[in-house]
Amino acid sequence: MSTVEKTLEGVVTGYVDDREEVYLDVSHRIHQNPEIGNEEYFASETLCKLLEGEGFEVTRGIPEHETAFIARKKGSAKGPKIGFLAEYDALPGLGHACGHNIIGTTSTLAAISLSKVLDQTGGEVVVLGTPAEEGGPNGSAKGTFVRHGLVQDLDACMMVHPSNQTNGTSDSLAVDPLDFEFYGQSAHAAAKPEYGINALDGVIQLFNGVNAIRQHVTDDVRLHGVILDGGVAPNIVPDYARARFFVRAATREACNEVTAKVKRIAEGAALTTGASVKVTPIQNGVDNLVLNTRFDEIFKEHIIALGENYIEEGREGIGSTDAGNISQVVPTIHPYIKIGSSDLVPHTDAFREAAISKRGDLALLRGSKALALTGLELLTNEESLQEVQKEFELKKNG
């Protein structure tokens, strides 16, 4: 490593050291004010003010998401555009039990610290404030960013997620969140049942049909649903019933195929019962992550150098993240960093408390440095960036 590179690294990490109290306070305040998806007004504005105070040009709101933002800062010369993904939504009833207070603050701190050397490196740093990662109505905003062409100009994009261990990006599942609304006709269930069309029976037949195909899908497929509306009284034939299903699979293509099957089952359930059915996506579909080994290796080198115990083995279990949507169009990593014990489970009270623990704070600071230094390497090492982009193109082309 040259003297110049060491100096630039020192500037980046030095900013984090000098300002750690400010950013830890921000993380804790976001944690104390949990906001569910698309309602993250406090968190979004707090991060925007930090970025504006450091010279970023901030655009608040994008189509469909008031609490989204895009923050940009350019160097004195042209160069790569490096993106950082900021999440800051909380879980209903559980608060920040997935540690998004850490994610949003980490990405913001990483971007600002990297921006301190842009006049020497050239290029541009971009922070994407992406609401509602946890989903829900109009959720998974990263899909909206992609649909509106707001990320395709980036050369690379990254974030780091709190976890029970530190390791690289792992596989994720594509998912389609769908509402199935059945419409029938009410009637007295005892006196005149023949006049009724039972919408709840349509929902029950949907569940039966979904259960029937479980034997005939690949092992990666996950089908899980709940009944949200099922009628108001036993003596009234339900004229309206609603179920919500998540359809998951290893790839977007596979998910599309299974979703089409489930929709046909719904049509059959309506035909069987005489009801009609309406199928509505409640949010953006979520795509699977396109893994990038070379990109992950760069992060790995930096996080290990910062003192983290990096676990090579893959993670147990598999879920979904709308970072997958970004990874379909831009080289993207989504590694993990330890904030608690090895038996710590996301979406629990224990995980929520770990997100403001001393170990959680340390993860925020180390994660910020590792992301910023990863970005610095992509700004200053053309060969590394080309390797990352070449792998991305190979993966996208199968």
Say how many CA atoms lie within 13 Å of 212 toward its Cβ. Answer: 13
Facing residues of 177 across strands?
246
What are 42-100's pLDDT values in tens digits?
999 999 999 999 999 999 999 899 999 999 999 989 999 999 999 999 999 999 999 99
Supply the pTM of this predicted model.
0.94
Q: What is the SS3 assignment for 286? A: strand
3-state secondary structure 23-79: HHHHHHHHHHCCCCCCCCHHHHHHHHHHHHHCCCEEEEEECCEEEEEEEEEECCCCC
Does pLDDT of 360 surpass 70?
A: yes
Residue 6 confidence (pLDDT): 78
Structure tokens at 116: 């301190």
Does pLDDT of 397 surpass 90?
A: no
Angle formed by the axes of helices 293-305 and 358-380, to 10°?
A: 120
Residue 4 confidence (pLDDT): 64
Q: What is the SS3 assignment for 368? A: helix
Task: Classify burial at 18, counting beta carbons within 10 Å of its beta carbon; exposed 0-12, middle 13-18, buried 19 or more.
Answer: exposed
What are 303-356's pLDDT values in tens digits?
999 999 999 987 777 889 999 999 999 999 999 999 999 999 999 999 999 999
Q: How confident is the model at residue 361 (pLDDT cuts 50, 70, 90)?
A: very high
What are 93-130's pLDDT values in tens digits?
999 999 999 999 999 999 999 999 999 999 999 999 99
Does pLDDT of 3 surpass 80?
A: no
Q: How confident is the model at residue 1 (pLDDT cuts 50, 70, 90)?
A: low
Angle formed by the axes of helices 100-115 and 20-32, to 10°?
A: 150
